[in-house]
Amino acid sequence: MKGALRPRLVFERFRGLLTFVVSLVVVLVVWQWAAVTERVSPLILPKPTAIWDELLFFFDNFFSGVGYWRHTWVTVQEMLLGFAIASASAFVLGTLVSEFRMVREVVTPYAVALNATPKVAFVPVFIVWLGFGMAPKVLVAALIAFFPVFVNTITGMHSIHVEQVELLRSLRASRWQTFRILKLFNSLPFVFAGLKTAMVLSVIGAIVAEFGGASEGLGYLIRQSSSRLRADQVFAYITVLSVLGYVLFDLISRVERKVVFWVDRTHQSQAVTS
């Protein structure tokens, strides 16, 4: 009986993966067909095989030849620095805002105004201020990545169970103890939800800032290829960026599962994703 059930169980287990692979193949075949028969101009939509060739070229020349590692590394640095600055400052400021009324009253109007502003509009200004180097890109990445962490930190600090607060009050815990024992840990699941969003947003920030003026980086490469009408190269770089974004997102998810181990995964969506 058990032996007879096995193949079915194996199928059930890999069902999701199988569905994905089949759909991917279908999409790629249709895409390739549309491009080869030139129903869509290759300037607009390159052949998947051409993108694949460009990807191979990219990795062949990663350390030697063109040396794509330099561009990749510049963009990664911009993203990670922006992300780190945004996360740290947003967590600290979010904590201060939720703990001190005075800070809240001062910060809130600016935060609301800045949140409503399209951050990439600052790119030209930052380049004037900080030059063509990495600094303006880091700043834009940080600015975009700031808000999800900020908002989620505040939400996390406030969404404490009434009876947990009353418990600590009944134990005569000081305000600092209540923060350290209860609020800090309680905010962590929310903070991680914010961090995951921030990670993806910092990639956007770095790339858009590179579009505004850069001499290296993946965003710079995309702009170069785009002006030479090499859509196949553009798509290859975008693929690299999307894999990069996924890897970093996955990394945070892994850290999250280790750190906030007590959170029921099915309830994790309750955190705010701004």
Partner 1 sequence: MAQDVRIEVETRNNDVTDSELVCLRGVSKLYEKRGSESIRALSAVDLAIREGEIVALLGPSGCGKSTLLKIAGGLYEPTEGEITIAGDRVEGPSRHVGMMFQTPALLPWLTVLENALLPVRVRRQSRKRAKQKAMEYIHLVGLGGFEHRYPNELSGGMQQRAGICRMLMSDPVVLLMDEPFGSLDELTREYMDVELRSIVRREGKTAILVTHSVQEAVFVADRVVVMTSRPGRIAGDVEIHLEGDRGSDLLDSEALLLYCRKARALLDSASGAQS
| CA–CA distance, 246 with 257 (Å, rounded to integer) | 16
Q: For residue 138, which of 187, 207, 69, 188 has the smallest C-alpha distance?
A: 207
Give the number of other Cβ atoms within 10 Å of residue 121's Cβ: 9
Q: Which is nearer to partner 1, 38 or 163 (CB)?
A: 163
Is residue 181 near partner 1 by the rule CB under 8 A?
A: yes
Q: How far is CA 203 from CA 80, 96, 120, in A?
A: 9, 27, 12
103 and 111 in contact (C-beta within 8 Å)?
no
Site string for partner 1, 10-49 (x = CB under 8 A): ----------------------------------------
Q: Which is nearer to partner 1, 72 or 152 (CB)?
A: 152
249 and 199 in contact (C-beta within 8 Å)?
yes
| CA–CA distance, 31 with 48 (Å, rounded to integer) | 7
Residue in 145, 182, 198, 240 binding partner 1, rule: CB under 8 A: 182
Residue type, 86: A
Binders of partner 1 in range 197-256 (CB under 8 A): none
CB of 258 to partner 1, least distance (A): 12
CB of 141 to partner 1, least distance (A): 31
Among the residue ranges 43-51, 220-228, 234-242, 259-267, the one whose residues contact partner 1 (CB under 8 A): 259-267
Q: Which is nearer to partner 1, 72 or 186 (CB)?
A: 186
Residue in 101, 112, 247, 261 binding partner 1, rule: CB under 8 A: 261
| CA–CA distance, 92 with 81 (Å, rounded to integer) | 17
CB of 180 to partner 1, least distance (A): 10
Q: Distance from CA of residue 77 to its chain's centroid? A: 14
SS3 for 23-86 is: HHHHHHHHHHHHHHCCCCCCCCCCCHHHHHHHHHHHHHCCCCCCCHHHHHHHHHHHHHHHHHHH
Q: Which is nearer to partner 1, 74 or 191 (CB)?
A: 191
Q: Which is nearer to partner 1, 169 or 228 (CB)?
A: 169
CB of 257 to partner 1, least distance (A): 14
CB of 187 to partner 1, least distance (A): 12
Give the number of other Cβ atoms within 10 Å of residue 59's Cβ: 12
152 and 274 in contact (C-beta within 8 Å)?
yes
Residue in 262, 265, 266, 269 binding partner 1, rule: CB under 8 A: 262
CB of 269 to partner 1, least distance (A): 17
Binders of partner 1 in range 121-180 (CB under 8 A): 161, 163-164, 166-173, 177
The contact set with partner 1 (CB under 8 A) reads 161, 163-164, 166-173, 177, 181-182, 185, 260-264
